[in-house]
Amino acid sequence: MLDRRPFGRIPLVPEPKPSFHDSRTIILAPTGKDTILIAGLLGRRGMPWHAAASAEDLCIEIGRGAGAAIISEEALSEGAITRLRAVIDGQPPWSDFPLIVLTVGGRVTIESERLRTLRQPLGNIFLLERPIRPETLLSTLEIALRGRLRQYQIREQMAQYARAQDALRRSEKLAVTGRLAASIAHEINNPLEAVTNLLYLMRDCEDMERGKRYLEAADQELARVAEITRHTLRFYREPNHPVDTQVESVLRSVLVLYHSRLTAAGVEANLEVFAPHATVLSSPGELRQVIANIVGNAIDAMRHGGRLRLRLSMEPGPGGQRVRLTIGDTGAGIPRSLLPSIFEPFVTTKGETGTGLGLWVTGEIVRRNGWKMQVRTLCGALRSGTVFSIVMPTGETAAAEEEVSAAVA
């Protein structure tokens, strides 16, 4: 198995510097001279700061972007803690916002203990007991800001990862389009070659009966070209948002386009349709991409002939009828060691001819649409093969479920 996952090895572009907002320290110390003293201290070091007028203002400023907050304990009333908690709980996954709380030393009272317990879920808290030496405050703030900087780096890496995934998804879509375009050209070329030959034969043919047979054969070949063109034009015109999509028609269009690959590999394709009118809520292009990837892999696994079985049926499910699509092959099967990683990107056993993106994208489409997919495979010496089953809510069921949730909301 060749595993070409590049993540982790990608040299990351230099980290962008955090913006002015992202590196600010928000100060909330409404009583006494704390704000003036801290602001002066930060100002002399050239560290950006913002004095918040209230807990609400503090939360708004954290939302606008900040590196840390310095809060005096007196400002952390129960209401302020609740507000702050909502902000902290709503942070994105990369964020763990640092809070430096300046406590009032002295007696522990029931009230101070209660507030301390309430404060705990705020997470990343540094407690500094007053009176505080300026160096202690500055070094604590520097530690907090350094930690925040690491969080920004994680944010950037997550954004890069999302961008890379997006680029991969688009490249796989292009690869599928390229493969389909090659299949279409191949499919059209065969009947056109046949028509050229038949016309050549007709040129010197004086036997009317034989000439008629040539014409009929040419007619059939041209009908095939027309069928392929019809399917191709349908792709071109179909919407790329979810609509009620006839599964059988998508299945047939994939088989039309893979016809010559199936014939060349000596694969016999059987389509069993027990639910001819089954529809699912999907963009036809996405459903085709899923079927084309699975069928393409099945053909690759049966290079020396075999049987491809496609079965479309309905079955009862919890929220209504479900559509079950089963695609089975009699290929070599997927080795046990490879099975857990086939839905990861760049996992391929096909060397330079495979990108290892087909099943990754297939899995993503299945997950995004809320479908269920199962793979069963056997690598025995006497019997081998692989079966992919996909269960999808019917178009009508999906619409009905939407109506229910809209009524509940």
Ligand X SMILES: Nc1ncnc2c1ncn2[C@@H]1O[C@H](COP(=O)(O)OP(=O)(O)OP(=O)(O)O)[C@@H](O)[C@H]1O
Count of positions (residues) in the chain: 409
Alpha carbon separation from 115 to 75, 111, 381 (Å, rounded): 11, 6, 69
Single out the segment in contact with ligand X by CB under 6 A; choices: 62-70, 84-92, 142-150, 356-364.
Answer: 356-364
| Placement of tokens 């980290």 in the chain | 15
Residue 70 near which of Mg ion, ligand X, none (CB within 5-8 Å, type-dependent): none
Q: Which of 98, 358, 385, 393 binds Mg ion (CB under 5 A)?
A: 358
Amino acid code (one letter) for 282: S
CB of 165 to ligand X, least distance (A): 15
Nearer to Mg ion, 313 or 355 (CB): 355
Amino acid code (one letter) for 360: W
Residue 191 binds Mg ion, judged by CB under 5 A: no
Q: Which residues pair with 328 in a beta bridge?
A: 309, 387
Nearer to ligand X, 333 or 393 (CB): 333
Residue 334 binds ligand X, judged by CB under 6 A: yes
CB of 252 to ligand X, least distance (A): 20
Alpha carbon separation from 66 to 24, 28, 50, 71, 147 (Å, rounded): 5, 13, 9, 14, 13
Question: How far is the C-alpha of 102 from the C-alpha of 29, rounded, in Å?
Answer: 9
What is the pairing mode between strands 347-348 and 2-3? antiparallel
Q: Which two tokens stand for residue 43?
A: 């100002």
Single out the segment in contact with Mg ion by CB under 5 A; choices: 116-124, 204-212, 293-301, 338-346.
Answer: 293-301
* Contact assessment for residue 386 and residue 310, using Cβ atoms and an 8 Å cutoff: no
Q: Which of 347, 366, 373, 398 binds ligand X (CB under 6 A)?
A: 347
Nearer to ligand X, 18 or 331 (CB): 331
Three-class SS state of 220: helix
Single out the segment in contact with ligand X by CB under 6 A; choices: 100-108, 132-140, 245-253, 353-361.
Answer: 353-361
Nearer to ligand X, 279 or 293 (CB): 293
CB of 240 to Mg ion, least distance (A): 22
Number of residues interacting with Mg ion: please give it, by CB under 5 A. Answer: 2
Residue 112 binds ligand X, judged by CB under 6 A: no
End-to-end CA distance of the chain: 49
Segment 265-294, which members bind ligand X (CB under 6 A)?
Answer: 293
Residue 297 binds Mg ion, judged by CB under 5 A: yes
User: Rg of the chain over CA atoms, in angstroms?
Assistant: 32
CB of 364 to ligand X, least distance (A): 11
Residue 354 binds ligand X, judged by CB under 6 A: yes
Q: Which of 87, 349, 391, 396 binds ligand X (CB under 6 A)?
A: 349
Number of residues interacting with ligand X: please give it, by CB under 6 A. Answer: 22
Nearer to ligand X, 180 or 334 (CB): 334
Report DSSP letters for 312-343, one per residue: EEEEEETTEEEEEEEEEE-SS---TTTGGGTT
Segment 41-100, which members bind ligand X (CB under 6 A)?
Answer: none
Nearer to ligand X, 35 or 330 (CB): 330
Residue 278 backbone dihedrals phi, psi, to 5 degrees: -60, 130
Residue 355 binds ligand X, judged by CB under 6 A: yes
Burial readout 223-233 (b: 16 or more C-beta within 10 A, e: otherwise): ebbeebeebbe
Q: Which residues pair with 49 in a beta bridge?
A: 25
Nearer to ligand X, 98 or 356 (CB): 356
Contacts of 359 (CB under 8 A, 6+ apart): 293, 297, 342, 343, 347
Nearer to ligand X, 137 or 347 (CB): 347
Nearer to Mg ion, 174 or 215 (CB): 174
What is the pairing mode between strands 25-28 and 49-51? parallel
Q: Which of 4, 170, 350, 367 binds ligand X (CB under 6 A)?
A: 350
Question: How far is the C-alpha of 393 from the C-alpha of 371, rounded, in Å?
Answer: 7
Segment 249-268, which members bind Mg ion (CB under 5 A)?
Answer: none
CB of 365 to ligand X, least distance (A): 13
The CB-nearest residue to Mg ion is 358
Q: Return the axis-axis angle of helices 284-301 and 247-257, rounded to nearest 10°.
A: 50
Segment 294-333, which members bind ligand X (CB under 6 A)?
Answer: 297-298, 301, 329, 331-333
Residue 337 backbone dihedrals phi, psi, to 5 degrees: -70, -25
The contact set with Mg ion (CB under 5 A) reads 297, 358
The contact set with ligand X (CB under 6 A) reads 293, 297-298, 301, 329, 331-334, 342, 347-350, 354-360, 386
